[in-house]
């Protein structure tokens, strides 16, 4: 399967190379799209090295192409991990102001979407965040819920990114 892997700007983005490795071990071809905030947490060059493919970071690659259309057509599935509260809201509301959210809207309805959120447990429990998750489920997206664990803020609770294996299994 050709998997387009979107990486949001949550601290769990540092786990992205391990997710790429798990996807490749499962036999998938992987291309990565990283948000501007995600680039602050995981290096696109590292993702290119583990995926074996160029990494997309902007709507404006300078070659006149349309990466949001090209990538949406290339993939069989879109995986987003970590998905921040902001990404969940933008996907659920149809807001498209960067490459990842724009290509999400450009996906054909038949394409599989898997979203693995990660955030502070208080944020995860907010009714508005849960409403966005419910809206995304209503469109057919598979949500790989965050798990209990140590959070970047020093707290412990439900909000840690699911394991690379669990995220990969959700594509099946």
Catalytic annotation, residues: 153
Residue with tokens 């948000």: 35
Residue 80: its H or E element: strand 77-83
* Burial category of 23 from C-beta neighbours within 10 Å (exposed 0-12, middle 13-18, buried 19 and up): buried
Q: How far apart are CA 164 and CA 68, in angstroms?
A: 25
Q: How far is residue 5 CA from its own chain's centroid?
A: 6
- Which tokens sit at 137? 């489920």
Assign residue 88 a region: left if phi > 0, alpha if psi is -120 to 50, beta otherwise?
alpha
Q: How far apart are CA 148 and CA 159, in angstroms?
A: 6
Nearest to 162 by CA among 114, 125, 106: 114
């Amino acid at each position: 399967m050709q998997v387009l892997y979107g990486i949001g700007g949550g601290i769990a983005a540092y786990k992205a190379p391990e997710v790429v490795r798990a996807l490749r071990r499962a036999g998938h071809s992987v291309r990565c799209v990283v948000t501007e905030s995600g680039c602050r947490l995981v290096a696109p060059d590292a993702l290119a090295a583990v995926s074996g493919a160029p990494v997309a970071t902007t709507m404006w690659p300078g070659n006149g192409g349309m990466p949001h259309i090209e990538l949406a057509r290339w993939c069989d599935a879109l995986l987003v991990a970590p998905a921040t509260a902001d990404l969940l809201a933008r996907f659920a509301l149809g807001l498209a102001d960067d490459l990842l959210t724009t290509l999400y809207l450009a996906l054909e309805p038949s394409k599989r979407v898997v979203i693995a959120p990660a955030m502070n447990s208080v944020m995860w429990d907010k009714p508005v965040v849960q409403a966005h998750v419910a809206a995304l489920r209503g469109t057919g997206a598979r949500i790989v819920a965050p798990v209990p664990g140590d959070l970047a803020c020093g707290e412990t609770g439900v909000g840690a990114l699911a394991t690379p294996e669990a995220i990969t299994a959700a594509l099946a």
